[in-house]
Amino acid sequence: MFSREWFVYVFGRWLLLSGLAGAAIQVLFADRLGIPTFPAFLLNQFCLACVFWYVDEYIFRRYFGKVKAIFRFPRIKGEFSMEQQLEKISEEYTEFAASFKRAPDDSREWLNHLVDLSHVVEMTERIVREQGVDMDKEYYDVINENRQRGLYEGDKKKGNR
């Protein structure tokens, strides 16, 4: 929690920038323009929010740009090729499909296999990200393609999969 970035953000962004800017704006509104204290404070906060929305957006985009992804499963030890991953995906899918066909209405019978399949797909994504591929762009591209086809709730077009 108390990393270098935390100190820079708390002391630099919040205390120095917001504190000084907030104090200066409060003096301007309350003392110079004669606005009563509480309305001046609310107006002060509104002005700061309008400015620091963009500052925080820049800070967090820059910071989270370094974080590749948040995964649900830990990384499996070892190095894996895409061929190995394809084989593992096929294996997990086959197990899931077989258990689902045996009892489609009983998720207790196939849920573990579905989670295993999700795990191997996530591991494949992790490997691709480690190779430097921009997976986020692909996610956005797929979302935009599906949105254009009207596949999401609230989309104007209605399409079939």
DSSP letter string over 81-112? Answer: -HHHHHHHHHHHHHHHHHHHHH-TT-HHHHHH
Q: 127 falls in which pLDDT band (50, 70, 90)?
A: very high
For residue 4, pLDDT beyond 80? no
Whether 157 is covered by a domain: the verdict is: no
Do 106 and 53 fall within a single domain?
no
Residue 161: is it exposed, middle or buried by C-beta count within 10 angstroms (0-12/13-18/19+)? exposed
For residue 33, pLDDT beyond 70? yes
Do 87 and 54 fall within a single domain?
no
Q: 68 falls in which pLDDT band (50, 70, 90)?
A: very low
Instruction: Give the whole-angstrom CA distance, residue 9 versus residue 5.
Output: 6
So what's the pLDDT on residue 161?
A: 57
Do 139 and 109 fall within a single domain?
yes
Whether 103 is covered by a domain: the verdict is: yes
So what's the pLDDT on residue 72?
A: 86
Whether 153 is covered by a domain: the verdict is: no
Domain containing residue 144: 82-148
Whether 52 is covered by a domain: the verdict is: yes
Whether 25 is covered by a domain: the verdict is: yes
For residue 157, pLDDT beyond 70? no
Tokens standing for residue 59: 């800070």
Number of domains within the chain:
2
Whether 144 is covered by a domain: the verdict is: yes
